[in-house]
């Protein structure tokens, strides 16, 4: 028997914004019963940029393209596949924004992972994050492509100065904003009882990592963890959209007949004008 994966995704507009510009994928790609073969899955979180008109469209386009292209991953290095798909999404979003003035300047963050067996292949652009919760410790895996992230890496400003800066929300790399994009790709080997957390800044911008760790420790079920994390962000003000995907590795054993992680949010978005 192979380790099995339980995963769930949830998105919330938050307490302030009327429109949810976030999107996510949480898809089972396996064809056999859980535990009978190495797990295969696709997880992603996207946070749209560009206001009500463009942000939701850009994030929906990114996850839709990722979902449509997933069949090409067979026989291909997953890191190369992710790099190609991210670049394709960047190009299509940029071209649509260039053709339709209402979407000028739109873009989106995107963090995604393909799981094959006990190895996760990840890619990210922007400041949506992937975390690993292992042995009670929460560690950020991705690097933020943002003004705040650059200041933290350079250690030029204190955390308080970063949080008080008017540039704290500025994204320095996104899909669709420019004609070309650099994609970060890497892979991670999972161990028994590992938990992977993917989220937008609507969560980590309001909930400290120590608090996120306590929630993940208290709620081993991914669905319950997603609900609890979103509740924490809303209790802290919920001034942004909040999207969370939690994937938990489980030891081999009796697996559920129906996998609980075919969750997806891709709302309809306006078709391109002729």
pTM: 0.89
Any idea which residue has 């120590």 for tokens?
A: 210
Q: Looking at the domain that runs over 4-138+172-265, which CATH code has it been given? A: 3.60.40.10
Q: Residue 267 has what pLDDT?
A: 54
Please check whether residue 3 is in contact with residue 249, taking contact to mean a CB–CB distance below 8 angstroms: yes
Low-confidence winner among 165-169, 213-217, 234-238 (lowest mean pLDDT): 165-169
Residue bearing the bigger pLDDT, 48 or 249: 48
pLDDT per position as a tens digit, 26-44: 988 876 555 556 668 899 9
User: Per-residue pLDDT for 246 more than 60?
Assistant: yes
3-state percent breakdown (helix, strand, coil) of the chain, nearest 5: 30, 30, 40
């Amino acid at each position: 028997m192979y380790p099995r994966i339980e995963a769930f995704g949830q998105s919330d507009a938050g307490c302030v914004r009327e429109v949810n510009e976030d999107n996510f994928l949480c898809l089972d790609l396996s064809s056999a019963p859980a535990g009978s073969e190495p797990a295969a899955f696709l997880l992603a979180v996207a946070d749209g940029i560009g206001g009500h008109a463009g942000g939701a469209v850009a994030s929906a386009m990114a996850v839709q393209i990722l979902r449509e292209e997933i069949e090409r991953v067979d026989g291909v290095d997953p890191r190369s596949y992710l790099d190609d798909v991210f670049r394709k999404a960047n190009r299509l979003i940029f071209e649509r924004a260039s053709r339709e003035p209402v979407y000028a300047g739109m873009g989106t963050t995107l963090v995604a992972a393909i799981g094959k067996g006990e190895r996760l292949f990840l890619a990210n652009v922007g400041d949506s994050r992937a975390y690993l919760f292992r042995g009670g410790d929460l560690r950020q895996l991705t690097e933020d492509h943002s003004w705040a992230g650059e200041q933290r890496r350079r250690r030029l400003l204190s955390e308080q100065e970063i949080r008080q800066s008017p540039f704290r929300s500025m994204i320095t790399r996104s899909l669709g904003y420019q004609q070309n994009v650099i994609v970060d790709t890497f892979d991670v080997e999972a161990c028994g009882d590992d938990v992977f957390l993917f989220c937008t800044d609507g969560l980590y911008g309001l909930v400290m990592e120590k608090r996120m760790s306590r929630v993940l420790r208290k709620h081993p079920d991914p669905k319950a963890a997603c609900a609890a994390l979103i509740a924490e962000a809303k209790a802290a003000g919920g001034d942004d959209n909040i999207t969370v995907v939690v994937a938990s590795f489980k030891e081999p054993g009796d697996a559920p007949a129906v996998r609980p992680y075919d969750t997806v949010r891709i709302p309809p978005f306006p078709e391109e004008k002729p």
